Structure 1
Amino acid sequence: MRPRTVPLLTAGLLALAGTLMALPSASAATTGCRVAYRVTNQWTGGFQADVTVTNLGDPLSGWSLGFDFPDAAQHVTQGWNATWSQSGAHITATNADWNGVLATGSSTPLGFLGARADANPDPTGFTLNGVACTGATSTPPPTGAAPALKVSGNELVTSAGTPVILHGVNRSGGEFACIQGNGIWDGPMDQASVTAMRSWNVRAVRVPLNEECWLGTASVPAQYGGAAYQNEVRAYVKLLISNGVTPIVEMHWNHGQYTGPSAGCSDVRATCQKPMPDAQYAPAFWTGVASAFKGNDAVVLDLFNEPYPERATGDATAGWKCWRDGGTCPGIGYPVAGFQSLVDTVRATGATNVILLGGLAYANDLSQWLTYRPSDPTGNLAAFAHVYNFNACATTACWTSQYGPVAARVPLTLSEIGENDCAHGFVDGLMDWADARGVGYLGWTWNTWNCATGPALISDYTGTPTAFGQGLKDRLARVPS
């Protein structure tokens, strides 16, 4: 992401058995729930609905019911037996003081008065404490440390050969706060924040970094660069791994002046997205990062955020050649580190970690990825793409024709997905496509920003989802771990 007809009385059982991965423990909670929703009366402009929530899992000492209204005109105006709130289309009902305890198999009745337009469709996608339902139960195994990964055909696998698909979120901050003189991170990077991520069943977190901050150049306040920055990155990576989360360490912003087409800034410093990595600092950055994490193949290395050399060269073929080979690229005023040289840089340290590479057009174009992909002596090279509703490749037809052949040959992760409308209809369709093909995805971003100005998943660091984030949270609760 660049920074920045009326139905009659109805009754339905909408259920959800989700899988909330627990933190390491002797036993993991059994989860599951069932929701019955029924419109008991309706009139012009309004209606009344009864909701019955049944807990099928382990006893609960507190609960929160969530669902989305399908029609924009539907609103809760008054509710009972819970505290009701609404944000956009998303409804939350939290237990009252007297009905917070739900034993296994027990139910509690709720209800509300609502407003509507002509249509009054039943909501779907009910969740209870973030677990979305089918009326079944699930007991996830205890979670240990994140496993070492390697490439096997078109899959990421553990040392035992178990396939792993990367599902999770981005955690923005390390790419910009330091160079702006505001700190090292944006918001908390502690155990509580990771526990909140795990409550969403997040299994991978992408951590964007700034090359000048890692290297401690003169552009960065001393307290936020060099060893101080590196130590913070190492500590966060270690924390993620210990919680069973795969860290993806990524170079986001880099040094080098670029003022051509689609330039994000005219600053030579690493303060915006440049079209390609620079040959001045990028090799040193990747020598340092690869050296820091070599021998720990639980860490995945993402060489560069969103290449767009074709905007500078004016030609896709020249763009792909610049992407792979670097050097003097037309339209780019600084020497470029091509991805073959950066793969070589990482491998020269002895690091065998999986490496991720995105394509052109801000990592949205993978049309020639297989043709131009660098050679890797370890065979641990995988692909990524970034997909938003405003990208060129934003349709099922494009994903199938362009991403499908890549996913058939190498592991593919959609390492940034999102939409700029505070909704999740677009990413729902994208995740459907990905799930059918064993392709991973990570939402942008686990930051408390305004989702009206960019795809922010949460409204607070305890993990309260935005309307956009609710779509990813519901999906992560039910995709296989």
Structure 2
Amino acid sequence: MRHPPRSVLAAVAGAVALIGSVTVPVVTASGAAPACSVEYSVTSQWDSGFQGAVRITNNTAAMSSWSLAFDFAGGQKLTQGWNAKWSQSGTTVTAASESYNGSLATGASVSAGFIASWSGSNAVPTSFKLNGSSCNTAVEPSPTPEPTDPADDGPPVLRASGNKLVDAGGAPRRLLGVNRSGGEFMCVQGRGIFDGPVDDASVKAIADWKANAVRIPLNEECWLGLSTIDPAYAGANYINAVKDLVAKVKAHGMTPVVELHWTYGQYTGNSAGCSDVHASCQKPMPDMQYTPSFWASVANTFKNDGTVVFDLFNEPYPDRATATTTQAWQCWRDGGSCPGIGYEVAGMQDLVDSVRGTGATNLILAGGIAYSNDLSQWLTYRPADPAGNLAAAWHVYNFNTCANESCWNSTLAPVAAQVPLVAGEIGENTCAHGFIDQVMKWFDDRGLSYLGWTWNTWDCSSGPSLISSYDGTPTAFGTGLRDHLRALNG
């Protein structure tokens, strides 16, 4: 969904070019079984910096906290990190556990990531120590454990089974909830991370509507901590804020859906949202320069938590740039050099591959073209998913082309017959709920999922808003969704 007008910061730096992701093998000495195993990888690299990751496996007695140390051998300088307390003294880098991931049982693994600068060479560290014990990094990496359900009152681990979403026990599940906008635009505008409060009380207010899911839009430049973003709202600070909101959503029994909304890449063609190369508006497709790295980082952050759902890209619209619908769908799936789009595109297949390359098996949503309102060829062009855990995403507003039951019957029903279908955004700009009432009934009759746009206190006529206060006071539009959810789930 497009947003109410916002002031946007001017671009202050040029683009950098990433090279391909590389996993770096490290040679080990022979001998007794190692006390620990470390996988070190360079997930992306550009002319003056790179993004790296470590995966630590504990092969000894359980520990309540951990500290990994290794030496940079090529003059690299750490700039930021996540999932650990990162520091550097001379050439020695230390990653110490956070309060939430310090417990490491025998055989258990934990991952952390960082960004660093380099020049001359980007030599790979050759030795690692965990709590003072030397690690042997040549062992085969442990497979990512199959995520397990949290406490009984928490959200389920979801899987696509045929055309249904099911929990670990095979019971059908639906995602019924709201969007919580803010994380996609506040940071790039230098005004914060979220729009309005995201404290426990405000999240509880969503749960009080009997919602069971919250979609959280994100910004790739803010997550990756690029230099154009105020550091207070970028990198580790941004990531930790997102993780904190995800934890609050889960604590209230709701499924978090993390979604990539705004991305890098200059597009000034038909229906352009802005002329800015930076992630300050909706672009027709994600970019190859940063988006695969974004999803690799997000997937690494949440891959051991199968309750978190990944929504690959908000509202693709390559159809506005290309000459034919076939070109649009080819661009959507395959990316590359797409007609009418001046930057290299990351297709849906690229993004699925980025997620699955981390070992993450989380449910993935992929929206169609025409701002996710057209699924007419989704089945023909759907990306291959080695985990078999892919669902179709769809958006609808009263002003969209496919906004009537005839279109839904002809284009949505065939998709919903084969794969799970999630309406990631439903809404109307009438400040009423007559239209979404029709949408919800069509989806209810087929046991499908939907989430209202949006849990923000905007003027509903300029950007459909469900609430007038973060205590959950609904607008006239929001009353329709609230009462419907309470009737279904009360």
TM-score (norm. length: structure 2): 0.69
Question: Within the alignment, does 1:148 sit opposite 2:126 as a pair?
Answer: no
Task: Report deviation, 1:452.
Answer: 2.1
Deviations 1:181-233 (A, max 9, x none): 00000011111011111110010000000000000111100110001000111
In the alignment, which of 471, 482, 488 is matched to residue 473 of structure 1? 482
What SS does the corresponding residue of 1:313 show, helix, strand or coil?
A: coil
What SS does the corresponding residue of 1:479 show, helix, strand or coil?
A: helix
User: In structure 2, how many angstroms separate the alpha carbons of the residues matched to 1:322 and 1:288?
Assistant: 24
Map 1:43-58 onto structure 2 (within 5 A).
Answer: none
Deviations 1:102-133 (A, max 9, x none): xxxxxxxxxxxxxxxxxxxxxxxxxxxxxxxx
Question: Within the alignment, does 1:281 sit opposite 2:297 as a pair?
Answer: no
Structure 1: where are the runs of 5+ without partners?
A: 5-141
User: In structure 2, how many angstroms separate the alpha carbons of the residues matched to 1:423 and 1:275?
Assistant: 29
Task: Report deviation, 1:145.
Answer: 1.1
The aligned counterpart of 2:315 is 306
User: In structure 2, how many angstroms separate the alpha carbons of the residues matched to 1:343 and 1:441?
Assistant: 22
In the alignment, which of 226, 229, 232 is matched to residue 223 of structure 1? 232
User: In structure 1, how many angstroms separate the alpha carbons of the residues matched to 2:243 and 2:203?
Assistant: 15
The aligned counterpart of 1:241 is 250
Task: Report deviation, 1:289.
Answer: 0.1
Contact 2:167–2:173 (CA<8 Å) still a contact in 1?
yes
Contact 1:324–1:339 (CA<8 Å) still a contact in 2?
yes
Contact 2:2–2:463 (CA<8 Å) still a contact in 1?
no
Give the percent of matched residue pairs that are identical in Structure 1 and Structure 2. 63
User: In structure 2, how many angstroms separate the alpha carbons of the residues matched to 1:310 and 1:396?
Assistant: 23
Aligned letter for 2:455? W
Deviations 1:369-407 (A, max 9, x none): 000000001100001100000000000000111111111
Task: Report deviation, 1:314.
Answer: 2.2
Aligned letter for 1:268? V
The aligned counterpart of 1:191 is 200
The aligned counterpart of 2:406 is 397
Map 1:426-465 onto structure 2 (within 5 A).
Answer: 426-465=435-474
Aligned letter for 2:287? D
User: In structure 2, how many angstroms separate the alpha carbons of the residues matched to 1:200 and 1:396?
Assistant: 27
User: In structure 2, how many angstroms separate the alpha carbons of the residues matched to 1:378 and 1:453?
Assistant: 40
The aligned counterpart of 1:2 is 2
Deviations 1:253-309 (A, max 9, x none): 000000000000000000000000000000110010000000111000000000000
The aligned counterpart of 2:64 is none
Map 1:1-400 onto structure 2 (within 5 A).
Answer: 1-4=1-4, 144-400=153-409
User: In structure 1, how many angstroms separate the alpha carbons of the residues matched to 2:395 and 2:448?
Assistant: 12
Aligned letter for 1:354? L
Deviations 1:314-351 (A, max 9, x none): 21100000000000001000000001011011000000
User: In structure 2, how many angstroms separate the alpha carbons of the residues matched to 1:267 and 1:468?
Assistant: 33
User: In structure 1, how many angstroms separate the alpha carbons of the residues matched to 2:381 and 2:457?
Assistant: 38
Contact 2:333–2:382 (CA<8 Å) still a contact in 1?
yes
What SS does the corresponding residue of 1:416 show, helix, strand or coil?
A: strand
User: In structure 2, how many angstroms separate the alpha carbons of the residues matched to 1:404 and 1:227?
Assistant: 42
The aligned counterpart of 1:58 is none
User: In structure 2, how many angstroms separate the alpha carbons of the residues matched to 1:319 and 1:384?
Assistant: 17
Aligned letter for 2:2? R
User: In structure 1, how many angstroms separate the alpha carbons of the residues matched to 2:470 and 2:177?
Assistant: 15
Contact 1:312–1:331 (CA<8 Å) still a contact in 2?
yes
Deviations 1:226-250 (A, max 9, x none): 0100011111111111211000000
The aligned counterpart of 1:18 is none
Contact 1:254–1:278 (CA<8 Å) still a contact in 2?
yes
Contact 2:210–2:489 (CA<8 Å) still a contact in 1?
no
User: In structure 2, how many angstroms separate the alpha carbons of the residues matched to 1:273 and 1:454?
Assistant: 15
Q: 1:143 to 1:422 in 2, by over 3 A?
A: farther
Which structure 1 residue ranges, 4+ long, deviate > 2 Å from structure 2? Answer: none
Over the aligned positions, Cα root-mean-square deviation in angstroms equals 1.0
What SS does the corresponding residue of 1:384 show, helix, strand or coil?
A: strand
The aligned counterpart of 2:106 is none
Aligned letter for 2:374? D
What SS does the corresponding residue of 1:206 show, helix, strand or coil?
A: strand
Task: Report deviation, 1:143.
Answer: 6.6
Aligned letter for 2:254? V
Task: Report deviation, 1:480.
Answer: 4.5
What SS does the corresponding residue of 1:277 show, helix, strand or coil?
A: coil
In the alignment, which of 391, 413, 417 is matched to residue 408 of structure 1? 417
Contact 1:143–1:243 (CA<8 Å) still a contact in 2?
no
User: In structure 1, how many angstroms separate the alpha carbons of the residues matched to 2:461 and 2:295?
Assistant: 35
Higher Rg: 1
Contact 2:296–2:354 (CA<8 Å) still a contact in 1?
yes
What SS does the corresponding residue of 1:324 show, helix, strand or coil?
A: helix
Contact 2:466–2:478 (CA<8 Å) still a contact in 1?
yes
Aligned letter for 1:336? V
Number of aligned pairs? 344
Deviations 1:88-109 (A, max 9, x none): xxxxxxxxxxxxxxxxxxxxxx
Structure 2: where are the runs of 5+ without partners?
A: 5-150
Aligned letter for 2:193? I
